[in-house]
Chain A
Amino acid sequence: MKKTSVLSKIYLLLVMLFLYVPIFVLIVFSFNTTKSHSHMSGFTFDWYVKLFHNELILSSLLNTIIVAVAASICATILGTAAAVGINSMKKLPKAITLNVNNIPIINPEIVTGVSMMLLFVFFAARMNFEFGFGTLIIAHITFNVPYVILNIMPKFRQMNPNIYEAAQDLGCSPAQAFFKVVLPEIMPGILSGLMMSFTFSLDDFVVSYFTNGSRAQTLPITIYSMTRRKISPEINALSTIIFIIVILVLVTKNIYERKTAVKKGVKL
Chain B
Amino acid sequence: MKKLISAPYLVWMAVFVVVPLIMVAYFAFFANGHFTLDYVANVSQYANIFIRSIWLAAIATVICLIISYPVAVILTEADANYQGTLLMIVMLPMWMNFLLRTYAWMTILGNNGILNQLFGLFGLGPFKLLNTRGAVVLGMVYNYLPFMLLPIYNVMAKIDRSVLEAAQDLGCNRGRVIAKVVFPLSLPGVMSGITMVFVPAISTFIISRMLGGGGNLLIGDLIEMQFLGNSYNPNLGAAISLVLMIIVLLIMTLMNQFDADDRPLI
Contact = CB atoms under 8 A, between A and B. Distances in A.
Interface of A: 1-2, 4, 8, 11-12, 15-16, 18-23, 25-26, 29, 37-38, 78-79, 81-86, 88-89, 97, 100-101, 103-104, 106-112, 114-119, 122, 138-139, 141-142, 145, 147, 150-151, 174, 196, 199, 203, 205-206, 209-210, 219-220, 223-224, 227, 235, 238-239, 242-243, 246-247, 249-250, 254, 257-258, 267-268
B199 A114 contact: no
A250 B84 contact: no
Interface residues on B, range: 35 or more
27 contacts: A2-B77, A4-B78, A8-B70, A11-B70, A11-B74, A15-B67, A16-B89, A18-B67, A22-B105, A81-B8, A82-B8, A82-B10, A104-B17, A106-B252, A110-B204, A110-B205, A111-B203, A115-B20, A118-B20, A150-B265, A205-B97, A205-B206, A206-B206, A227-B106, A238-B100, A250-B88, A258-B84
A217 to B, nearest CB: 14
B57 to A, nearest CB: 11
B117 A38 contact: yes
Given A84-B5, A111-B244, 11 more contacts: A19-B90, A23-B93, A81-B8, A85-B5, A106-B199, A111-B241, A196-B266, A223-B97, A223-B100, A250-B92, A268-B81
Interface string B62-80: 0000010011011001111
Contacts of A84: 2, 5-6
Contacts of B3: 85, 88-89
A223 B96 CA distance: 12
Q: In the A-B complex, list the 8 residue pairs whose CB atoms are closest, starting with the nearest.
A: A85-B6, A82-B9, A108-B203, A115-B20, A22-B104, A37-B107, A119-B20, A246-B95
A8 B84 CA distance: 17
A246 B100 CA distance: 14
B7 interface: yes
B116 to A, nearest CB: 8
Contacts of A220: 97, 99
Interface of B is mostly: helix
Given A12-B71, A88-B3, A115-B24, A107 B248 contact: yes
Given A82-B9, A85-B7, A108-B203, A118 B1 contact: no
B95 A199 contact: yes
Nearest to B16: A142
B21 interface: yes
Contacts of B101: 22-23
Contact of A235 (B92, B100, B105, B205): B100
A108 B100 contact: no
Contacts of A139: 16
B257 interface: no
A209 B90 CA distance: 28
Interface in B33-84: 67, 70-71, 73-74, 77-81, 83-84
